[in-house]
Amino acid sequence: MDLLALPTEVLVLIFLNLSVSDSLHIQSVNRLFRSLYQDSLQLQYALECQIAGVHDNPRCSLPIQYRLRMLRDRESSWDSLVPTSREDVQLPTRTSGHYDLAREHFFLGDPHPMAAKPLIPIHYERPMQPSNDQVHVSVEACGENLFLAVRISDDPSWLYVFSWQTGELKFDPIGFPNLGLVVLRHDIILNPNIRNHCLDIYYVPASSSGGPINRIARLCLPALKDDANTWDIQCRAAPNPTEDSTLPRNISASIPFVDRADCAIILLTWQIHRDDNEFVTPFSFVVHRQSILDLLPPEMEWPSLQAQTTAWDFWGPSRTCLFNNMRFAEGYITATNGQRYILHSAEPRQKSQLRLLDFNRYKIKRSLAKGSPRVQLGMQSEPLNHFFAQSETDALPFLEIVADVDRSYHGVMINDSAILGLNSAQSSSRG
């Protein structure tokens, strides 16, 4: 079949299904194909959605030209760290300490209307015997599952998996080495195992299968020196995936696009202690969610698989970015969304300095082709060999964007459309 003989409308439909690399290559085939992209807003928007790592919202009623302009404006604003608007938000003076940050909300709000049991009891205290127990919780929801990692004071951590709609416990709780957890898929979670110095990956079967939670993989972390040990690891990846890997059902029709979960990075904030120092040193560890999923065995093996351990040298150096972030303020784990990670200067000063690290591989390739100095292979910081047994040579590259802001913040957070700067002495600023 001669492609050139096909009607323009048919060619557009075909090209809409091409990958980024194929879309770019086909434009160099002939003038007709190149002009199709130049003249079709639909093709331009589809290609730029792929490059930006976003889902188009088919329920959005805005014309393509407005969605394309909004996407380009958003990406341009992130690439320069110049906000299109800014507002001050007054936060509660006292909070529970449990929070999340997503589009249009910061603190946890009203119960979900489909949740039959909005309050799920985990820990009880006898009325006549009050205790000083401290309850630490990590919460993630994805698909039918509500994942709760819970630690009571200094007791071991436990993982509870509930149906968030019914409030029923789906499995017997299992021991969890660390509170942190990341959802890789609706049925796959990752947990940093401090005790065994690795990342444990678990398969969580559907309610209808009747099978147990099963650990299906163990990925070793880079070895520490003999005088160093892990103090704590927290982790985060946003947004969470959906059960069918498509657009979340609750996205408003007024929103033209949202970040894709499969493109998102996983952030581990890793605190390491050395015997010759009374303080812990913070490190940031970044890997793409899809890079972890690509390492897993075939899905049909998950229910009965006995987990295999994968050495760090085999999987880690080329897929991850690891750096000492002592120069930056100790931040919130909600400092990442999609493929971006926000940091701010730890030095006391009149203004905060923001640093945005963008791990979007298409933008990195484009910047490398232009010879941009913004592409980095790691932070210039204290050498890793002060803490790690080996100095890493490979690293996941990123784009670094630096900007001064006219306020001083004690913490920053990020979602898909805003940076939230926190100032305990004033209201919070969102741009």
Radius of gyration for the alpha carbons in the chain, expressed in angstroms and rounded: 23
Residue among 415, 190, 416 at smallest CA distance from 290: 190
Which residues lie closer than 8 Å to 148 by C-beta, 6 or more apart? 120, 122, 137, 138, 139, 159, 160, 161, 162
Quote the CA–CA distance of 234 and 349 in Å, as a whole number: 28
Encode pLDDT of 276-317 as tens digits.
888 888 899 999 999 999 999 999 999 999 999 999 999 999
Burial of 145 (0-12, 13-18, 19+ CB in 10 A): buried
Residue 410 tokens, joined: 């004690």
Distance in angstroms (rounded) separating the CA atoms of residues 218 and 204: 15
Q: What is the pLDDT of residues 14-45, one digit of tens each?
A: 999 999 999 989 998 888 889 999 999 999 99
CA separation for the pair 11, 33 (Å, rounded): 9
| Rounded distance between C-alpha atoms, residue 264 and residue 252, angstroms | 21
Beta bridge partners of 270: 233, 283
Q: For the residues 400-420, what does the mean pLDDT come to?
A: 84
Specify the pTM. 0.90
Q: pLDDT grade, residue 392 (50/70/90)?
A: low
Strand positions, DSSP E, 223-311: 228-236, 257-259, 265-274, 280-288, 308-310
Q: Which tokens hold the place of 27?
A: 């434009």
Q: Is 309 exposed, middle or buried (0-12, 13-18, 19+ CB in 10 A)?
A: exposed
Residue-wise pLDDT for 110-147, tens only, equals 677 888 888 888 765 555 555 667 778 888 988 889 99
pLDDT band at 410 (very low <50, low <70, confident <90, very high): confident
Helix (H, G, I), strand (E, B) or coil at 151: strand
- By the 10 Å C-beta count (0-12 exposed, 13-18 middle, 19+ buried), 80 is classed as exposed
Helix (H) or strand (E) holding 216: strand 214-220
Question: Would you say residue 394 has pLDDT above 70?
Answer: no
User: CA-CA distance, 79 to 159, in Å (whole number)?
Assistant: 39
- Rounded-to-5 percentages of helix, strand, coil across the chain: 20, 30, 50
Q: Inter-axis angle of helices 8-15 and 41-52, to 10 degrees?
A: 0
Strand partners of residue 174: 159
Has residue 427 got a pLDDT over 90? no
**What one-character DSSP code corresponds to residue 297?**
P
Q: What are the pLDDT digits (tens) for 160-214?
A: 999 988 999 999 899 888 888 999 999 999 999 999 999 999 999 987 777 889 9
Q: What is the mean pLDDT of the chain?
A: 84
